[in-house]
A and B are shown apart, each in its own frame.
Chain A
Amino acid sequence: MATILADTDSAASPRDNSVPEAVVVRFAGDSGDGMQLTGGQFTLSTALSGNDLATFPDFPAEIRAPQGTLFGVSAFQINFGSTEITTAGDQPDVLIAMNPAALKVNAPALKAGGLIIADTGEFTKRNLEKAKYDVSPLEDGSLAKWDLLAFDISALTIEAVKPFGLGNKDALRCKNMWTLGLALWMFDRDRQPIIDGLNAKFKGDKKILADANIAALNAGHAYGETAELAGPLKQQHIEPVPSPAGLYRTVTGAESVSYGLVAGAQLAGLPMFFGGYPITPASAILHNLVKMKEFGVTTFQAEDEIAAICSAIGASYAGHLGVTSSSGPGIALKGEAMGLGIMTELPLVIVNSQRGGPSTGLPTKTEQSDLYQAVYGRNGDAPIPVVAARSPADCFEVAIEACRLAVKYMTPVMLLTDGYIANAAEPWQVPDPAAFAPFPVAFLEEKNGDDVVLPFKRDERGVRPWIKPGTPGLMHRIGGIEKAIDTGNIDYNPAVHQAQTDARKAKIDGIAKDIPDQEVCLGNASGKLVVVGWGSTFGPIHQAVRRARAKGLDVSHIHVRHIWPLPRNLGDLLKGFDNVLVPEMNTGQFKTVLRDQYLVDATPLTKTSGQPFTIAELEAAIGKYFDAIPDNEGGEVPADDTQLPSIEAVNTDGPNAVPAAE
């Protein structure tokens, strides 16, 4: 067997006798093998055992890929540990490969010295051909740098479920539970919650399926116990992570943003209207909200992206909290309507689940390349607040913040998430929505002028009143044409356009006074280097800075939620550091904003391969500031073929739902 390569940077191999801080496991199989379900159940057991975790579902873009093919491989990665986990892990320690294609696609990513568990029952001549193997990799020594545990899981599963008299096909469908049983044994997990789940899922005349699956689960678990003595399989117990006391669950970004929007509407005291159009990876928000009618949510699947935002603006005009959601291409289509929202000063929340671009780009891969579009991407001088979520759980608070700014300042607000955040799951301490300060809306009910209604009379913050059609005596007209001060009547006068452009800008700029000061989330408030991030790069940046600081390097981490307007103290904060490094999954967009706003020498570190940053890449980039080699800082992180593909962002309805491809 292969030599173990010491890897001090990340989690130890599970083969070590010492107990690692964290372990990365990747379940990979054919789309029909139920890997997402297996991963979801393993995630649940991991959460229940008190480990922190982050997951990374990776399924094919094709809805029904042909069986056994390389592009039909579905995988689910989980990183869990006894310490704070903020990424799905750079490289897996354990790969469970249910067929040759799954092995071929995923083995290159596996950490040297890692463990491969393979089902020999699927390594048939036909499947090897489909995976484009000439010789079985289990036999030709090509897997020598990893530990290999290959045995016939298919046969063992059939044997285990024999008493239930299932057909061969149905019996083999229990393979994933057999594998899960083995994985549960490997990490010393309780089987009972899974058994309870199976019993709840298969009832009545389907009870036999529950029994068969439970038998497979138990058989896999028992196999671990007996195989331990002989092979490379070792049982490990990962200690629970010390977390704040409270009730926890797992949540994806799409779920969390949906809950946050509903909470935001409740805090504003408004019904909510959601206008959406199907697009990957944003559709899951529509799927979630449609199930929340009791919260006064109306959802509308419009005929296109434009109608989606226009209907939401129409609903805002009627006094609802209008919300729309999309991804980059759809956001581009919504641009003109956003301008109308800005011009007529109506509240609106626009959720942008970013993906790789331009054009159709990488529909299922993550990127942060819509920042320019969010901040600058409209005709005319058209400022709107932009907020960005850093993680799935963070979406809840950020969505509430977006709602607050929209109704308090009568403006469209853009909330940026991305494909990774939308689909990844993480543990979440269930928040108390009542703990958030309400921001109730007061509609104008009576004339606010001298016996006239002045729909564009601004208050001290520059905000106009919100007037619902149906209110007696306040009839007025609004529109996209430039308008007179106070009355809102059409007025193209040069001085009026100057004054209104200034007023619209001042209103948005003024929001900086109503948002928290920027905090340093790790490290000192001044020093040699600060790594400034926004959005889903939080996880890898945070871990990289933590590790660098553990090595004694003077580096801090700042993560910005309010992208526009920026927190008032951010400029001064940045100027307290000798160097500012801005890692982004784009060609340096936030870097440009920081340079423009503060004249700071922000150095970009960019990655546009559709893959998230790995912790190691960021550690290396930080290290360059301390290596005494001049001018090697920043730059571009190249695509890495051995890195896992970025999360396949599809539209699932949460970790417990069965994805379309399975």
Chain B
Amino acid sequence: MNEMTKIKVETTLKDWESDQEVRWCPGCGDYAILKAVQRTLPEIGAVPESTVFISGIGCSSRFPYYVESYGFHTIHGRAPAFATGLKLANPELDVWIVTGDGDGLSIGGNHTMHLIRRNLDCQIMLFNNEIYGLTKGQYSPTSRVGTNSPSTPFGSVDRPAQPCAFALGAGARFVARGFDVSKELPNVLKAAHAHKGAAFIEIFQNCIVYNKDVFQDFAAPKGAEDRQLWLQNGEPMLFAKGAKGIALDQEALTLKVVDVVDGDWQAAGVIVHDVTNRSVAHMLVEMRFGEFPMALGVLYDDPRPTFEADVWRQNRAAAEGKKADLQSLLKKGQTWTVSEGGPDL
């Protein structure tokens, strides 16, 4: 979010569609995410000329071409660095970074980490499909152990990175999760946009060609209520239509799933979600799917001053009372004068 978005304008979804033909594979989850974003932008009163989508390289990174705003399709993994220069130069802009699991966590992991730790005001949408799509299906840093791919024909052996745990570890002040076809995704995006600072959103995205249905275990509509925990600030962490909840195992100091009898979640010790509780956020991002439901929605949201605001404040303070007179600056310090007849000593 930024100052300029206070001047909200009336737009419709159509206003955010560029004249470019969308070229993802038919059925790709990216289509749904694009629509969710284009649906969200009018709702948050975004201004097209003040909105910039910046991406790296990969399927997801084609995203800026399809949004009728300013857009910069940069180089592999570096979108956060371009965004940093852009936002420092003009903090009025509303910056969205579009990246993927390979772009943002492998080749660009360093920049993702530093952007988050600095707390640049922007939204980082990390499309996680657990695979390299554009280069035709190699396993990625988020692929599960045993993933068969052209580069791992005997199954991958390295353990995957967990994007939200990475973000929180890097110092993120906003961490959220959604998935491509979820109806809740626009709400997650809205919350991210409302957060002043770096807002990290992991969006599970179905790559129908190279990693089809890898998220079906929790994303499939059938039985979703048993496998998805949608977090709401101030609400108890309930799922399975309120029959189950998340509680603190006070002996192990971990989370646990508890049964809720007759809706008495308090008796079951179910935790009320507090988006500013960093300790619980650490446990939520570490919850292993299977034993637990998939935690979705806003996991953590506790703003801090932004990087660009602090830089501008310091720049202004350092410049205060000084004139931008280069010639005077050059003449400062020890100088001497040579007159026509030779040096004046």
Contact = CB atoms under 8 A, between A and B. Distances in A.
Interface stretch (A44-52, A563-571, A641-649): A44-52
Contact of A472 (B49, B334, B345): B49
Contacts of B71: 475-479
Contacts of B89: 271, 273, 298, 314-315, 318-320
Interface in B293-345: 311, 315, 318-319, 322-324, 326-327, 329-331, 333-340, 342-343, 345
B81 A263 contact: no
B73 A50 contact: no
A295 B326 contact: yes
A344 B75 CA distance: 11
Nearest to A190: B345
A313 B82 contact: yes
Contacts of A300: 84-85, 88, 311
Contacts of B340: 245
Contacts of B331: 247, 249, 430
B74 A477 contact: no
Contacts of A534: none
A605 interface: no
A480 to B, nearest CB: 6
A590 to B, nearest CB: 30
Given A294-B323, A294-B324, A475-B70, A244 B84 contact: no
A315 B86 contact: yes
A235 to B, nearest CB: 17
Contact of A317 (B65, B68, B72, B329): B72
Contacts of B225: none
Given A262-B326, A303-B110, A480-B74, A469 B342 contact: no
B226 interface: no
Given A275-B85, A293-B319, A322-B85, A243 B343 contact: yes
A50 B82 contact: no
B277 interface: no
A249 B335 contact: yes
A474 B70 CA distance: 8
A307 B111 CA distance: 7
Interface in B203-219: none
B342 A314 contact: no
A470 B18 contact: no
A1 B42 CA distance: 91
B90 A319 contact: yes
Interface residues of B, number: 59
B78 A245 contact: no
A489 interface: yes
A317 B75 CA distance: 14
B58 interface: no
A313 B89 CA distance: 11
Contacts of B335: 247-249, 430
Contacts of A469: 49-50, 52, 70, 86, 90, 93
A442 interface: no
Given A50-B343, A319-B90, A477-B73, A248 B336 contact: yes
Contacts of B329: 259, 292
Nearest to B91: A318
A320 B90 CA distance: 9
B54 to A, nearest CB: 8
A295 B324 contact: yes
B345 A479 contact: no
B88 A311 contact: yes
Contact of A431 (B74, B82, B330): B330
A430 B328 CA distance: 10
B338 A245 contact: yes
Contacts of A430: 327, 330-331, 335
Nearest to B337: A247
B73 A318 contact: no
Contacts of A266: 324, 326
B75 A340 contact: yes
7 closest cross-chain pairs (CB), A and B: A314-B85, A479-B73, A50-B343, A311-B85, A310-B81, A318-B89, A477-B71
Given A275-B85, A322-B85, 9 more contacts: A245-B340, A298-B311, A298-B315, A302-B84, A303-B111, A470-B92, A476-B71, A477-B18, A477-B72
22 contacts: A240-B345, A243-B338, A243-B343, A248-B335, A266-B326, A293-B319, A300-B88, A302-B114, A306-B78, A314-B72, A315-B86, A315-B88, A317-B82, A336-B75, A433-B326, A433-B327, A469-B86, A470-B92, A471-B49, A477-B20, A477-B70, A656-B333
